[in-house]
């Protein structure tokens, strides 16, 4: 499920941190955590009783925040009051009204310790799902946020990969299968995702990277290398493809909104 939020800044001198992604994640977590009990009731009432289905509520990613701005050091000064944000959740279509009601008219603060902007969510739109073939689909995916691909090295640190590295797509598939197993049970990916494929489709200009910072200015500060300016060709059955679309491609999906893709 993909939703689009329209946001309106409530103040005038609106200065966002350039690394606004982690603060947005915190806002989304706050909203969905406040609705845990409501969501459990929703699952029960609608008969969506897949084992551990409540976990799906925490599988999400989100797009870059789209708004007009000027760069001021490590800040982004908004030059207009409107912004747009896309969020993807791995939820059943019956959750549409629940999710819309959860976000609509919320007042949120996107900020770090130095500056931030108060917004009101003025509109929530649920994107219509494209029909998919149960067994086989070959689609082109566009990026709404950059993708992080990485493999673990010593001491559990990631080695971040670029799209020209053969392991880039290998690790995207590995991570995709891990999510599928988490959602549908150990061994589900081996049974249902044996033929999935991901390949890079270049644009006219080469892929570009962006260095993102998590928890900037704190002892827990972490830097992440993400890549954009390309598309992905994906071959997969419907069930697996929906997981990719709804939970994000690669890693750092819910943490900083990386890997938000659409058809």
Of 20, 21, 17, nearest in space to 248 by CA = 21
Let me know the angle formed at the C-alpha of 261 by 260 and 263, rounded to the nearest 5 degrees. Answer: 160
Let me know the angle formed at the C-alpha of 202 by 199 and 205, rounded to the nearest 5 degrees. Answer: 160
Q: How far apart are CA 60 and CA 197, in angstroms?
A: 22
Respond yes or no: is residue 44 known to be catalytic.
Answer: yes
Respond yes or no: is residue 29 known to be catalytic.
Answer: yes
Q: How far apart are CA 214 and CA 111, in angstroms?
A: 13
Q: Which of 20, 22, 29, 228 is catalytic?
A: 29
Q: Which three-class secondary structure string do you get for 27-59? A: HHHHHHHCCHHHHHHHHHHHCCCCCCHHHHHHC
Sheet of 75-78: strand order equals: 15-17, 75-78, 69-72
Q: Which of 44, 54, 136, 174 is catalytic?
A: 44
Please enumerate in sequence order all residues whose Cβ is within 8 A of that of 146, keeping only pairs 6 or more positions apart, or say none. 209, 210, 212, 226, 227, 228, 258, 259
Of 148, 135, 158, nearest in space to 238 by CA = 135
Q: Which residues are catalytic?
A: 29, 44
């Amino acid at each position: 499920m993909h939703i689009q939020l329209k946001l309106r800044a409530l103040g005038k001198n609106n200065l966002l941190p350039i690394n606004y992604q982690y603060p947005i994640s915190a806002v989304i977590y706050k909203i969905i955590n406040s609705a845990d009990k409501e969501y459990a009731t929703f699952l029960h009432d609608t008969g969506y009783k897949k084992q551990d289905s409540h976990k799906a509520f925490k599988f999400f990613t989100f797009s870059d925040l789209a708004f007009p701005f000027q760069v001021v050091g490590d800040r982004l000064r908004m030059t207009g009051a409107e912004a747009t944000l896309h969020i993807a959740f791995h939820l059943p279509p019956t959750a549409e009204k629940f999710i819309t009601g959860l976000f609509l008219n919320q007042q949120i603060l996107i900020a770090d310790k130095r500056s931030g902007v108060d917004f009101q969510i003025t509109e929530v739109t649920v994107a219509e799902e494209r029909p998919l073939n149960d067994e086989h689909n070959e689609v082109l995916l566009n990026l709404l946020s950059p993708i992080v691909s990485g493999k673990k090295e010593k001491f559990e640190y990631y080695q971040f990969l670029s799209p020209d590295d053969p392991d880039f797509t290998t690790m995207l598939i590995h991570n995709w299968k891990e999510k599928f197993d988490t959602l549908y049970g150990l061994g589900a990916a081996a049974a249902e995702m044996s033929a999935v494929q991901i390949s890079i489709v270049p644009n006219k200009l080469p892929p570009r990277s962006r260095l993102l910072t998590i928890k900037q200015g704190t002892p827990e500060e972490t830097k992440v290398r993400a890549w954009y300016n390309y598309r992905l060709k994906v071959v997969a059955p419907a069930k697996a493809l929906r997981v990719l679309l709804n939970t994000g491609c690669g890693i750092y999906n819910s943490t900083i909104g990386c890997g938000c893709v659409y058809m």
